[in-house]
Structure 1
Amino acid sequence: MMLLHWNLAALLFFISPLLHLPLVTHAASTSSPITQPRIIFMTSSDDFDEYEDDDDTDTDKHRPTPEVLTAVRTNVLHQEPKLCQYDPCLENQKPCAEQSGCLCPGLSSAHEPPHPPRIKALLPVNAGENQGKIEVQWCAPSSVVSSYRVVVEGHDSDDLKFDAELRRGLLESVEVGTKVCVEAVNTAGSSTPSDFSCKRYDSPESDHKLFAWVVGGGVVLLLLLVIAAVILWKHKMCQRPKRNAADGLGNPSYSTEGTL
């Protein structure tokens, strides 16, 4: 009996490695394989985009397609700015600020004195009920103006005022050479006199006299030149016969080299 037990024990000792061998091989076959990390080589941005496109092929199918906007070309017409029909030398015209669709000249602020206006002419009135008076004409400055004032040299106390829409006024008889100035006025003050806002009165009669003297002097100078030219011509004509007579009376036998 003991011998039988010893035989069974020896048999189990030899058989047991054979029984565990399939289990070991099965365990080795079922164990998870060792994975190596994936190495991605990036050469350029395009390759990276292609790699992403390959991985996201399924998601791109469900992604909405972007809307393509087409460029629309519009022709823009560049027009030159149009100036308003406004003449600063004309009176009783529509203010430039009330005109639409055009550009007006810039104006200085109403809170500062205006720029000096430009005096245009000093003309005598030769007919009508205002005969003998002097008409002064001016052009408006680029400023806010409420009225105009005409100052005559030597008559500062008799300054004349005119409305902002007017561009001319009448003065009493003014002596030749008198200085006349036009000033613009607003709530901030009056303009400062300048070379183009003041002018001395010259009578048209004196201008005609000066013109007559100039023309007369020119005619006299021309006559003097003609007379001088005639005298010189006669003097040359008188000298020619004398030379011819002297040449004809010479002795043909006379020679400077010696006697014949």
Structure 2
Amino acid sequence: MASLYGNLVVILFFVSPTMHSHLFAHASTSSPPITRKRITFLTGLGIENDSNDYEDHTSPPKLVPSVRNPRLFSESAFCLYDPCLENQEPCEVLREKTGCLCPGRTGEDTTPHAPRIQALLPITEGEDTGKIEVQWCAPNSVVNSYRVTIEGTADVTKEFGEESRRGLVGYLEVGTKVCVEAKNKAGHSSPTDFSCTRYERPESSDHKLLAGAIGGGVAFILLLTIIAVVLCRRQMCQKAKRESVTGLGNPSYKSERPS
């Protein structure tokens, strides 16, 4: 019996280290490893790592600033074309030469827009002295000719070419209405507030000079009158003061003593 117990003790002595190591290895493999979570911080510039929680320090990614490429716009300028001047190259010709921009305009098969009157100016020199020059600006339409009409003279009209921007008419009375119409194959424009105006005689420089002289003379006379009134009142005040002083010194003003 004693030998049986001894054999068991010897067997446990050799087996126990093996079981201990086996149990330890099994425990180490079955239990999950203890790890620490990674903490990241988001900022406006990028991602930053918490370097204190890692043994493996990794540098944050480098941020490359974005480069904004400028957008290039190829804008064409408007053509140097004035619709109020004569003897110019058409805007379409300038566009073909330089690539500039022309304002849109209606075609030949559309009734043109009305032109705009700039001025009614009387001629003061030469053989046309006394006549009226009508000046206008072309509309944004295809125009073949212009026609100037005068109020009260339906039979008297003046025709001018498509490149014209001015024309002479006869003598006009003050208040006469003058209109300019644009014409093409589709018809003619309708009168508007800016294509018609009434003639008003401009003031000449002589009249302005005369009016200025008269105004200056009236102002001078008024100034002299004011000065004369001021001086007269001043003299009257001084005279009254002298008379009052003289009256106080006259013995006749003293009261007589009773006898």
TM-score w.r.t. the length of structure 2 is 0.59
- The match for 1:95 among 77, 90, 93 is 90
Deviations 1:162-207 (A, max 9, x none): 1111111122333343222111112332222223222333445x54
AA partner of residue 221 (structure 2): L
- Is 2:72 aligned against 1:77? yes
Count of residue pairs the alignment pairs up:
183
- Is 2:109 aligned against 1:114? no
Partner of 1:146: 144
Partner of 2:172: 174
Partner of 1:225: 222
Deviation at 1:89, TM superposition (A): 0.7
Deviation at 1:240, TM superposition (A): 2.9
Partner of 1:236: 233
Deviation at 1:111, TM superposition (A): 3.8
Identical amino acids, percent of aligned pairs: 46
AA partner of residue 235 (structure 1): C
Deviation at 1:212, TM superposition (A): 4.6
Deviation at 1:249, TM superposition (A): 4.0
Going from structure 1 to structure 2, the CA distance change for 1:228 and 1:108 (only over 3 Å counts) comes to farther
Going from structure 1 to structure 2, the CA distance change for 1:128 and 1:239 (only over 3 Å counts) comes to closer
- Which one has a bigger Cα radius of gyration? 1
Q: SS of 1:99's equivalent?
A: helix
* In 2: Cα distance, 1:210 partner to 1:193 partner: 34
Deviation at 1:234, TM superposition (A): 1.4
Unaligned runs of 5+ in 1: 1-70, 255-260
Deviation at 1:150, TM superposition (A): 0.3
AA partner of residue 104 (structure 1): C
TM-score w.r.t. the length of structure 1 is 0.59
